[in-house]
Amino acid sequence: MMGIETKFKFKSKAASLLVGVSMLAISSTASGLETLPEDKSMSGMKIELVGRDDLWTYKSCDNYNESPLTKSYVDAGKLPPVNERMPKEPWMAKTDQMVDGIGEYGGTFRHVIGGRPEGFNWLAGQSQGWGGINIQLMESLTRLGPLWQIKPEEANPLPNLAKDWEWSSDRKSLTMNLIEGARWSDGDIFDTEDIDFWWNDNVQDANVASRLPKDALGAGTTLEILGPYSFKFNFDEPKGNAVLAQLAYMGGAPGPSHVMKPLHPAHNSDATYESYANGMPASVLPIVTLGAYVPVVHKVDELMVMKRNPYYWKVDEECNQLPYYNETIYKLTSWDDRTTQALAGTGDFSNMENPGNYVEALKQNKDPNSPVKSVFGTRLIAWDLMMNLSSDFGVSSDYERELRQLFRNVEFRKAISHAMDRDTMGQSVARGPFFHPHAGGFVAGSPFHNFEDSIYYGYNASGANSILDGLGLKDSDGNGIRNLPNGGADLVIDILHSSTRSTDIKLADAAVSMFEAIGIKPVLKPSDNTDAFTDNGNWSMFIAREHWVVATKNIGDRLPTTTQNPAWHRDNGGDLLPFEETLVEKAKGILATNDLSEVASLARDIQRVRTENVYTVGLIQAPAALLINKRIKNNHPGAPVYMYEWAEDGVMRERLYTPKADQLDEFLPGVLAEYK
C-alpha cells in the first residue's frame, strides 16, 4: 500500500491566468539590502509524496517473462534464456506507484532533441546529445530524478546500481554493495572491476575530463575494493549523504571496463589520452551499456535508433523484464523543435523550457484532441549572466586581464545587475505572467529557496551609472563608451550565448540596449557550442540557462570546490575571492553532514553569500511544463521538468508503455543490437 500520503502543495495559481507581470513589491533585509520580491504568479500543482521505498525494491523471481522480441532471439539461439540474463535480485518497480499499472510490450518511443552525440566515452566527459540519451545510457550508482516524489525528510539519494550502502560509525568510510549479477548489454558481468576503472583510471586521472571532479567526494578520498560486488570509499574526514548525490548521473556512471581498458593509456602503451577520449566514436555502433536501450543506428544530424537491452536488470512486480518499449528513437533536430513536435503529436516528450511556446501550449490545452496537456510546474528554469571571474584562465590580452579585474570587483557586478531591466527581458521572450526576476543561485521553485535569502540588485540604470562613475570608468575620449581608468581602452565586452536556443538569443538581444544605457559596448558572441568556450576560458560574459534546485546536487559544478568549477571561475588554483572561500566552507559542510535540516541551513547561507556578492547576475526565471504524449502510460502526474534531475530521469522512462492498440511501428522491427 502506498505510504501515508503527504500533500505537498505549491501555491495554486494556474499559469493560464494570463495576468500582467505584477508590480514587484520591493522588500529588504535589516542591512538595507533589497531582497528578491515574493513570487505571486507561481503556477501550482499538488504532488502526493511517498516514502523512499515505495517506488522500487530489489527482489528475485522464480521465473522471468520477456518481450516477444528478445524471446525470438532466444529461440534463434542468439541469446541465453531470460532467467540466465537477469541478476540475482533485479531492480523491481512497485505497481502501486505505476498509475497505469503493469505495461504491455512493444512499439517505439519518440524523442526529439537539439543536441548531437559527441561520442560514447562518457567516462571522459563526452555527451551523447542530452535530451535523455545521456541519461538512458549512463546508469549511475545512485539516482536522484525520482526524488521529486519522495517526502523531503526521506529524500536522500536513491539506490540504483548500488543497491545499498552503509556508513562507518565515524562516517569516514562508506561501504557500497552493487546489484549482483547484472550484465552489460553484451552479456559481460558488471562488477567492481568496472568501479575500479571508473574511479582510478578516470575520476582520479587528471588527464581524463571525467564528469566527476577528482576531489568531488573530498580531497584524499580513496577507493577500496572489497569483493566482486562491494567496495568502500575512505575519507579524510567525516562525510554525509551529500556524497551519495555526487555518485548519481552524470559523475557516478561507470563504463564497460572490458571494452574501455584496452583504449586507456594506463593499460595500453600505444594509446594516448586523446585517442582514449575519442575511442568510442558516435559512428561505431552498437555500444555496450547498462541502460534500457542500446544505440544501433546513428544517422548524423538526423536520427539515433536504440533497441531494448536484453540484459536490462530491471523488472516489474509481475517479473516482466523492463523496459516495455522495444525501441526508442531520437530525432536530431533542435530544442525548440522538440516542443513543436510534442505539441503537434509527432514527438512523445518535451521539457517545454522555451517560454516563447507557452501561450500556444496553453491555448492547445483547451483542445480535448490535443496530443499533449501542458501542466506547468513551479519556477525551475532560470537564466543568468555570468562574468568570467578568473584572473588569468583563458586571458589572451592585457585588456582582457584588466577586464577580469573589473569583473572581480563586486561593485562592478552590482552595477551590471542594476542595469538589467528584467521585466523588459521577460516580456521580450514571451508576453504573459511566466517570468519573475532572478537573483542568481537557487531558483524560486527549489525547496532550498527562500526569497529573503536572495539579495537583489534590481533595475536601476542611474544607480548603475553612478557606481561605474565611482569606479573611475569615465568616457574619457567622448565617444559615448566608458573607458578603463586612466584613459584606458573603451569598455567593449563580448557576451557569449547559445545560438540554438531562442530564449537565450532573445535575452542577449534585449541586454544590448541595457549595456549601452550604462556606456558599455556589448559584442554578442552566439555559439552552437558554448561548452567549448567555458572549457577553455576564452570568454568575458555569458548569458545561459541555469537551474540550481537541489543544494546537494552537483556541488562541484556550482560552487568553487575544485579548480575546474564553476564554469564562470575555472582557474589554475589560488584565485578565489574571499566570499568564494566562504562558499567552499559551506560546500564542505554540506558534504560532511547527514542532517537534512543542516543542509537546508547551509543552503540558505550559500544563497545569501552568492547573491549579496553577485556571483552570477540573475536575470529571469520561469516555470516549465513537461509535455508527454497522451498515448504514453505511467506518466506520473506532477513529474517536474527539472527538480533533482531532468524529467527524463524523474519520470522513470523504464516504466512507460503504450497499450497495443496505440503502439507506433518500430523503425527497426525484429532487431536487437548484435555484437561481433
Q: Is residue 136 part of the contact set for ligand BQZ (CB under 6 A)?
A: no
Q: Is residue 130 part of the contact set for ligand BQZ (CB under 6 A)?
A: yes
CB atoms within 10 A of CB 69: 19
Q: Is residue 353 part of the contact set for ligand BQZ (CB under 6 A)?
A: yes
Contact characters 524-563, ligand BQZ, x per CB under 6 A:
-------x--------------------------------
By beta-carbon distance, which residue lies closest to ligand BQZ?
130
Of 4-12, 126-134, 157-165, 668-676, the segment contacting ligand BQZ by CB under 6 A is 126-134
- Which 8-state DSSP code applies to residue 199? I
Q: Is residue 43 part of the contact set for ligand BQZ (CB under 6 A)?
A: no
Single residue of 64, 198, 335, 376 touching ligand BQZ by CB under 6 A: 335
Nearer to ligand BQZ, 135 or 290 (CB): 135
* 3-state SS class at 522: strand
Contact characters 632-651, ligand BQZ, x per CB under 6 A:
--------------x-x---
C-alpha cell at 263: 583504449
- Which 8-state DSSP code applies to residue 597? H
Q: How far is the CB of 584 from ligand BQZ (least distance, A)?
A: 23
Q: Is residue 134 part of the contact set for ligand BQZ (CB under 6 A)?
A: yes
Single residue of 326, 351, 446, 663 touching ligand BQZ by CB under 6 A: 351
Of 25-33, 131-139, 486-494, 658-666, the segment contacting ligand BQZ by CB under 6 A is 131-139
The Cα-based distances of 233 to 216, 220, 221, 222 in angstroms read 12, 10, 7, 6
Q: How far is the CB of 349 from ligand BQZ (least distance, A)?
A: 9
Q: Do residues 471 and 484 touch, judged by C-beta distance below 8 A?
A: no
Q: Is residue 131 part of the contact set for ligand BQZ (CB under 6 A)?
A: yes
Nearer to ligand BQZ, 149 or 534 (CB): 534
Distance separating alpha carbons of residues 120 and 138, to the nearest angstrom: 10
Under rule CB under 6 A, how many of the chain's residues touch ligand BQZ?
Answer: 10
Nearer to ligand BQZ, 132 or 218 (CB): 132
C-alpha cell at 77: 539461439
Q: Is residue 657 part of the contact set for ligand BQZ (CB under 6 A)?
A: no
Distance separating alpha carbons of residues 441 and 450, to the nearest angstrom: 11
| Stretch (H or E) spanning 257 | helix 257-260
The Cα-based distances of 307 to 253, 321, 333, 659 in angstroms read 20, 14, 20, 18
CB atoms within 10 A of CB 510: 21
Nearer to ligand BQZ, 112 or 587 (CB): 112
* 3-state SS class at 416: helix
Q: How far is the CB of 646 from ligand BQZ (least distance, A)?
A: 4
Of 97-105, 130-138, 288-296, 610-618, the segment contacting ligand BQZ by CB under 6 A is 130-138
Nearer to ligand BQZ, 310 or 347 (CB): 347
Q: Do residues 305 and 295 touch, judged by C-beta distance below 8 A?
A: yes
Distance separating alpha carbons of residues 563 and 502, to the nearest angstrom: 31
Nearer to ligand BQZ, 547 or 636 (CB): 547
Of 125-133, 397-405, 410-418, 477-485, the segment contacting ligand BQZ by CB under 6 A is 125-133
Q: Is residue 357 part of the contact set for ligand BQZ (CB under 6 A)?
A: no
- Name the burial class of residue 614, with classes exposed (0-12), middle (13-18) and buried (19+) by CB atoms within 10 angstroms of its CB: buried
Q: Do residues 423 and 31 touch, judged by C-beta distance below 8 A?
A: no
The Cα-based distances of 630 to 502, 638, 653 in angstroms read 27, 14, 14
Q: How far is the CB of 550 from ligand BQZ (least distance, A)?
A: 14
Nearer to ligand BQZ, 421 or 504 (CB): 504
- For 525, residues 6+ apart whose C-beta sits below 8 A from its C-beta are 494, 495, 496, 497, 533, 539
Q: Do residues 98 and 315 touch, judged by C-beta distance below 8 A?
A: no
Q: How far is the CB of 300 from ligand BQZ (least distance, A)?
A: 18
Nearer to ligand BQZ, 414 or 497 (CB): 497
Q: Among candidates 11, 267, 294, which has minimal Cα distance to 137?
A: 294
Distance separating alpha carbons of residues 569 and 304, to the nearest angstrom: 35
Q: Do residues 419 and 514 touch, judged by C-beta distance below 8 A?
A: yes
Nearer to ligand BQZ, 244 or 651 (CB): 651
Nearer to ligand BQZ, 350 or 465 (CB): 350
Nearer to ligand BQZ, 75 or 531 (CB): 531
Q: Do residues 455 and 27 touch, judged by C-beta distance below 8 A?
A: no
Q: How far is the CB of 604 from ligand BQZ (least distance, A)?
A: 25
Of 129-137, 196-204, 456-464, 480-488, the segment contacting ligand BQZ by CB under 6 A is 129-137
Between CA 156 and CA 164, with CA 162 as vertex, the angle to 5 degrees is 65
Q: Is residue 349 part of the contact set for ligand BQZ (CB under 6 A)?
A: no
Of 127-135, 272-280, 480-488, 593-601, the segment contacting ligand BQZ by CB under 6 A is 127-135
Phi, psi of 197 (to 5 degrees): -65, -45
Of 124-132, 227-235, 273-281, 461-469, the segment contacting ligand BQZ by CB under 6 A is 124-132
Q: Do residues 168 and 239 touch, judged by C-beta distance below 8 A?
A: no
Q: How far is the CB of 352 from ligand BQZ (least distance, A)?
A: 9
Q: How far is the CB of 332 from ligand BQZ (least distance, A)?
A: 13
The Cα-based distances of 141 to 138, 160, 176, 177, 307 in angstroms read 10, 5, 9, 10, 23
Subset of 370-429 contacting ligand BQZ (CB under 6 A) = none
Nearer to ligand BQZ, 93 or 113 (CB): 113
Nearer to ligand BQZ, 390 or 534 (CB): 534
Q: How far is the CB of 1 from ligand BQZ (least distance, A)?
A: 33
Name the CA dihedral angle for 215, 218, 220, 224, rounded to a multiple of 10 degrees.
-90
CB atoms within 10 A of CB 509: 13
Nearer to ligand BQZ, 131 or 157 (CB): 131
Q: Which residues bind ligand BQZ (CB under 6 A)?
A: 130-132, 134, 335, 351, 353, 531, 646, 648
